[in-house]
Amino acid sequence: MMKHAYKLILLLLSALVLLFIIAPLLGMFLATSAPELFATARDSEVMKSIRLTLFTSLGATIFMAIGAIPLAYVLARKNFFFKKLISGIIDLPIVIPHSAAGIAILGFLSRNSVLGKAASSVGIDFVGNPLGIAAAMAFVSIPFLINAARDGFENVPVRLEKAALSLGASPVKVFFTISLPMAKRSVISGLVMMFARGLSEFGAVVIIAYHPMITPILIFERFSSYGLQYARPVAVVFILITLFVFIAMRWISGGKKHA
């Protein structure tokens, strides 16, 4: 009797959580008519913002992966005095308010900063620019890549790397032929998660660049200017895209593991 009651409670609590996630999204989809959806999909401003959002998030992910993946490997394999501190710093963008993150990024990239002045000297202005948007997206999303990749590298047997080194392979060759391929699933999952998280960013980006508008800002702009009826179809179209990204992420990271 107690066993059945325990299972019933688990099912009930699980169903409530799933309902909490699904109900608002389902309500929004049901409140959006097919004509509204098709009209939004043909709206040049909406499509332009979606392309900008996809491009900047993808660019930020690819560019930051060059340094983030090696950093994840170092954290997985090396022990050093400030390791816990560095791990805490990596998680900071998840913890701090994203508006505060935007202010921090703005101070770092503004025209009066050292980096901003150097960029201005070659004709680059991060503020109000896709480069600034990509930087804000990268700042708030990079912990997802680093943490996922680190977990993947930690699951790679150290003995295999040591065996390859003892046979004369260089550390670089060991990394690219053993460590990275064996951690591939986790690294790809982290890349997709970082990309998806960048797509949804609002707070940090809006401080760096209200224009050109990424889709989360466009949704807010239409809601504040015209109301829910005009913002909702844009949100539905964008959610469909982000939903596809998350399904792809689960499919890639959840496939069968090879022995």
pLDDT of residue 254: 63
For residue 251, is pLDDT > 90? no
Please give the distance of CA 177 from its chain centroid, rounded to a whole number. Answer: 27
Check if the beta carbon of residue 169 is closer than 8 Å to that of residue 177: yes
Mean pLDDT of the chain: 91
pLDDT band, residue 48 (cuts 50/70/90): very high
User: Candidates 3.40.630.30, 1.10.10.10, 3.40.50.1820, 1.10.3720.10; correct CATH number of 41-253?
Assistant: 1.10.3720.10
227 φ/ψ sector (left φ>0, alpha ψ -120 to 50, else beta): left
Residue 236 sits at the vertex; the CA angle it makes with 233 and 237, to the nearest 5 degrees, is: 90
Q: What is the pLDDT of residue 191?
A: 92
Beta-carbon contacts of residue 109 (< 8 Å; ≥ 6 apart): 115, 116, 119, 126, 127, 132, 135, 208
Model pLDDT for residues 210-229, shown as the tens digit of each residue: 999 999 999 999 999 999 99
On the question of pLDDT at 151 being above 80, the answer is yes
- The contacts of residue 208 (CB under 8 Å, 6+ apart) are 102, 105, 106, 109, 126, 127, 128, 132, 133, 135, 136
pLDDT tens across 235-244, in order? Answer: 999 998 888 8
**4-8, 157-161, 179-183: range with lowest mean pLDDT:** 4-8
